[in-house]
Structure 1
Amino acid sequence: MNATLRLWPLAVGAALAVLPAARAAQDSVQTPSNSRTAGNTKPAETVPQTGARADALRENLKAVKLPPGFRIELYAIVPEARAMAVEPSTGVVFVGTRGDRVWQVSDGRKRRVADDVVQFASSVTFKDPNGVCFSPEGVLYVAEQNRVLAFPAAQVVGKGGPDVAAAVVVPQGKLVPTQLESANHGARYCRVGPDKKLYIALGQPWNVPPKSKLAELDKNGLAGIIRMDQNGKNREIYAHGVRNSVGLDFNPKDKSLWFTDNQVDGMGDDIPPGELNHAVKMGANYGFPWYGGGHVRTDEYRNDTPPAGVVFPAVEYAAHAADLGMSFYTGKMFPEKYRGGIFDAEHGSWNRTKPIGARIMFTAVKDDGTVGQTEVFAEGWLTPNGEYMGRPVDVQQLQDGSLLVSDDYAGAVYRISYSK
């Protein structure tokens, strides 16, 4: 790989103390001693935001149904848009993909529509950089298929330029064993928790893993969620028995972890259900592969005894709707009903006789941490004849309280706002 990166300047401050610059020399990330650009200097790709494509996306959005008072608009054209991270101070949005791009989406005029979309850190050769997340101090983490990088002040130094500061948090080939590296369930998702640790969801390569692989998966945190210090040290497994989570967030009221999980394929149209899980404690097991989703046992492990104390989902979603990114709503723009609840993006089924999903769900969360009603919030990307016009992936909140929705099928990010 030909990635050219420079050391952080000392002025970046204490927020970066957790990420020693010395580690930036590891892996394929080079650290030129003179802190100047070297090696790959190809210009960053930019994405036009006007024209026929933008017009078509806006036309498609006319079919999306929302509760009264809500409005959805095109925020940005972003190819293969997946997980999103909003920079805490500026609102610059970073968008991961399943390819080799991370996109930087800027709204400098604060008109709540993107001014420009530019390839971030064009000198870095990313591989499946689906997972993007920020620390409260403004450090951007990019969780690739098998590596984790950190970028301080990303919104300042990374836009359109090859000379970008970074550190290797987890070197290439060390996030998961290389023999377990796979495009199947290889999209990572990350969050920095209230404890300042970096949490990463690690899917496993199979629909249902063979029994001979269970010990290796569990030892390395696959089919689970791991956490570590922001410099990559003190790695530990936080959750076991998670088939393929591509969405997690922390309840701001009690700081507890919640996450989605995708269920086993090939068991029928209506089983097993998708999952929204509440992590009650570190080290708990959430049932996979003994359970394919909810309380439904898998054929492969039907006669095996599940681990003691399996934690079942707080919400069972529609089977095969593919619930991915989720976030707690902490804004004030939306009505009181939605505050403190969970918005969840359903990517849509791929192996169901009648497709389902391609919508945004909402689940109310009570003050005691239990869930209330789950309902459809936004739908219309799936036509009555089963054709996808878009496939939502992630939901994140802008500082003004509006909600962003990414769509990797249409290659876009949408903004949902509310006014009385």
Structure 2
Amino acid sequence: MIRFAGLAAAALLLVTTASAQQAGEPVLTGKKAFGDWKADRPGVRRLIRPDDLQKPYVSRSASNGAGLADRPEGARPLVPSGFSIELVASGIDNPRVVRAAPNGDLFVADSKASQIRVYRLAEGSASPAQEAIFATGLTRPYGIAFYPPGDKPQWVYVANSNSVVRFAYRDGDLKAEGKPETIVPDIPANHHWTRDIAFSPDGKTLYLSVGSGSNVAEDMGAEPEGGLEQWATSAPLGATWGPEEGRADVLAFDPDGNNRRSFATGLRNCSGMTVQPQTGALWCVVNERDELGDNVPFEYATTVRQGGFYGWPWYYIGDNEDPRHVGARPDLAGKVTVPDVLLQAHSAPLNIAFYEGGSFPADYWGDAFVALHGSWNRGVRTGYKVVRLKFKDGKATGEYEDFATGFVISDDDVWGRPVGVTVAKDGALILTEDGNGTIWRVTYGDGRS
């Protein structure tokens, strides 16, 4: 991408002005939900259902990557009425995943710089009281998790593109004292390289997402060695082989890295993973395949069920067969798990966090926030925002709502690409974006819990 310096006043106006959340705004459904960035603003709601899926190739496959511009002076994301957003830090090389330590420190994966940053914010403020580099010399770090779960973790786990390592940790550490211990070695790192990690609530299982090595398994081969029938009887449901073996999967391990097993398959690129506090269920946000048209297939957020198969590369969103693999796996028809929340195609969801803080309005409790990095394979731009997934009694309704928008300047240029989202100890929402390397803090009312 190219960074453009200097912006016209009209472009700045698009970023800094927008309608606030509109009470009683109708939910957009069907084709009306397939909008572009111009329709985005806090409060816009969408509900996409499996039956809304179009046929492949209704539109041509677009190559429409965004130009990356400098953040206009004074520009900030737009949030709903009653909320405020403040800049925490800027000028970071590549801020990706952000996770809050139990003591409130914010750990940020600075992936291209191969390091983990830490920010300790002043009480009730977006201003860092302290900041430090926790660890360096990593390999495109992304996922971060604290172990054991609870108030007194003893380790910080980091998912590199090619391994999972851990650092000894004491409450309040701003810098790792020792060298990293490798827990999971030799993870294939080509193509999709973002590895996220999470622990089960009881601390007995480490989950690791490993994205596919291609768009749609072009080089996998028609059958595995020994034949498809033998493979299907011995491998997990929907497991891939050859260069894709162990990819497009969520894997599970003991916390020490032993006892590797497959947890779920067919998740093309689960870039963000978390455990829902209310239910203990594992959730993924998934980047689906490209080159089938502007609105095919939908991206999604979903619970990840043990032994579940989510379709890739043969199917998507249920029994919709990929035209590039027609007739290859009829044995898998009827066995594909349909995701819980469908998002606009090519939005690129990268991270998810559930809100159980105490400082947002009560109806936010139990909902989830998802960061959408933004499209390239769509003729009209979509994504480039943070959305709120609506839940009722711990279950997703399927509806989602624009929460933080304003990162797009024009049809050609954007200044921000959301990546990370987490809930701070004080109940604020923390966002990262890697277009201009910024971190933001969202609060409601006076910003204090």
Structure 1 match to 2:168: 152
Structure 2 match to 1:329: 355
> One-letter code of the match for 1:59?
G
Deviation at 1:367, TM superposition (A): 1.0
- Structure 1 CA distance for aligned equivalents of residues 291 and 156 of structure 2: 37
Structure 1 match to 2:301: 276
> In terms of mean alpha carbon deviation, does 399-408 or 305-314 score higher?
305-314
Match among 388, 391, 414 for residue 388 of structure 1: 414
The 5-angstrom pairing of residues 354-369 of structure 1 reads: 354-367=380-393, 369=395
Report whether the alignment pairs 1:128 with 2:140: yes
Task: Quickly say closer, same or farther: Cα 1:382–1:164, change in 2 above 3 A.
Answer: same
Report whether the alignment pairs 1:201 with 2:209: yes
User: Alpha-carbon deviations, 1:386-413, whole Å to 9, x = none?
Assistant: 4111000011010111100111111111
Report whether the alignment pairs 1:103 with 2:116: yes
- Structure 2 CA distance for aligned equivalents of residues 353 and 362 of structure 1: 25
Task: Quickly say closer, same or farther: Cα 1:253–1:364, change in 2 above 3 A.
Answer: same
> One-letter code of the match for 1:326?
I
> In terms of mean alpha carbon deviation, does 349-358 or 313-322 score higher?
349-358
- Structure 2 CA distance for aligned equivalents of residues 87 and 158 of structure 1: 11
Unaligned 5+ runs, structure 1: 1-54
Task: Quickly say closer, same or farther: Cα 1:355–1:56, change in 2 above 3 A.
Answer: closer
- Structure 2 CA distance for aligned equivalents of residues 65 and 410 of structure 1: 16
CA contact (8 A) 2:272 2:285 kept: yes
Match among 67, 71, 92 for residue 80 of structure 2: 67
- Structure 2 CA distance for aligned equivalents of residues 380 and 270 of structure 1: 22
Deviation at 1:154, TM superposition (A): 6.2
**How many residues are paired up?**
350
Structure 2 match to 1:9: none
- Structure 2 CA distance for aligned equivalents of residues 270 and 205 of structure 1: 23
- Structure 1 CA distance for aligned equivalents of residues 73 and 282 of structure 2: 35
CA contact (8 A) 1:325 1:344 kept: yes
Unaligned 5+ runs, structure 2: 1-69, 225-239
Task: Quickly say closer, same or farther: Cα 1:99–1:342, change in 2 above 3 A.
Answer: same
Task: Quickly say closer, same or farther: Cα 1:108–1:405, change in 2 above 3 A.
Answer: closer
User: Alpha-carbon deviations, 1:41-99, whole Å to 9, x = none?
Assistant: xxxxxxxxxxxxxx9677120xx22211111111122320001121112x111111332
Report whether the alignment pairs 1:186 with 2:162: no
- Structure 2 CA distance for aligned equivalents of residues 300 and 247 of structure 1: 27
Task: Quickly say closer, same or farther: Cα 1:356–1:273, change in 2 above 3 A.
Answer: same
CA contact (8 A) 2:93 2:113 kept: no
SS at match of 2:395: coil
User: Alpha-carbon deviations, 1:341-365, whole Å to 9, x = none?
Assistant: 1100000012222211110111111
Deviation at 1:192, TM superposition (A): 1.6
CA contact (8 A) 1:86 1:134 kept: no
Report whether the alignment pairs 1:397 with 2:423: yes
Structure 2 match to 1:141: 157
Task: Quickly say closer, same or farther: Cα 1:294–1:382, change in 2 above 3 A.
Answer: farther
SS at match of 2:162: coil
CA contact (8 A) 2:341 2:399 kept: no
CA contact (8 A) 1:143 1:188 kept: yes
Task: Quickly say closer, same or farther: Cα 1:99–1:384, change in 2 above 3 A.
Answer: closer
- Structure 2 CA distance for aligned equivalents of residues 95 and 207 of structure 1: 28
SS at match of 1:413: strand
CA contact (8 A) 1:98 1:187 kept: no
Match among 182, 200, 213 for residue 168 of structure 1: 182
Task: Quickly say closer, same or farther: Cα 1:119–1:101, change in 2 above 3 A.
Answer: farther
CA contact (8 A) 2:366 2:391 kept: yes
Report whether the alignment pairs 1:92 with 2:105: yes
- Structure 1 CA distance for aligned equivalents of residues 342 and 331 of structure 2: 19
CA contact (8 A) 1:103 1:117 kept: no
Task: Quickly say closer, same or farther: Cα 1:99–1:293, change in 2 above 3 A.
Answer: farther
CA contact (8 A) 2:356 2:365 kept: yes
Structure 2 match to 1:4: none
- Structure 2 CA distance for aligned equivalents of residues 72 and 384 of structure 1: 22
CA contact (8 A) 2:200 2:275 kept: yes
Task: Quickly say closer, same or farther: Cα 1:154–1:95, change in 2 above 3 A.
Answer: farther
State TM-score, norm by structure 2.
0.73
CA contact (8 A) 1:274 1:293 kept: no
> One-letter code of the match for 1:166?
P
CA contact (8 A) 1:294 1:316 kept: no
Q: After the TM superposition, which parts of structure 1 deviate over 6 Å for at least 4 consecutive aligned residues?
A: none
> One-letter code of the match for 1:134?
F
SS at match of 2:74: helix
Deviation at 1:323, TM superposition (A): 0.8
Task: Quickly say closer, same or farther: Cα 1:157–1:147, change in 2 above 3 A.
Answer: same
CA contact (8 A) 2:371 2:387 kept: yes
Report 1 or 2 for greater relative contact order, CA contacts < 8 Å, sequence distance ≥ 6. Answer: 2
SS at match of 1:59: coil
Deviation at 1:119, TM superposition (A): 2.5
Report whether the alignment pairs 1:288 with 2:312: yes
Deviation at 1:115, TM superposition (A): 3.3
Task: Quickly say closer, same or farther: Cα 1:294–1:386, change in 2 above 3 A.
Answer: farther
Match among 255, 264, 279 for residue 280 of structure 2: 255
Task: Quickly say closer, same or farther: Cα 1:151–1:158, change in 2 above 3 A.
Answer: farther
Structure 2 match to 1:414: 440
- Structure 1 CA distance for aligned equivalents of residues 263 and 73 of structure 2: 41
Report whether the alignment pairs 1:297 with 2:302: no
Task: Quickly say closer, same or farther: Cα 1:336–1:217, change in 2 above 3 A.
Answer: farther
Structure 2 match to 1:231: 256
User: Alpha-carbon deviations, 1:237-293, whole Å to 9, x = none?
Assistant: 1110000011111121211111111011111112111111122x3111011112245
Match among 94, 111, 126 for residue 112 of structure 1: 126
- Structure 2 CA distance for aligned equivalents of residues 236 and 419 of structure 1: 46
SS at match of 1:352: coil
Percent identity over paired residues: 30
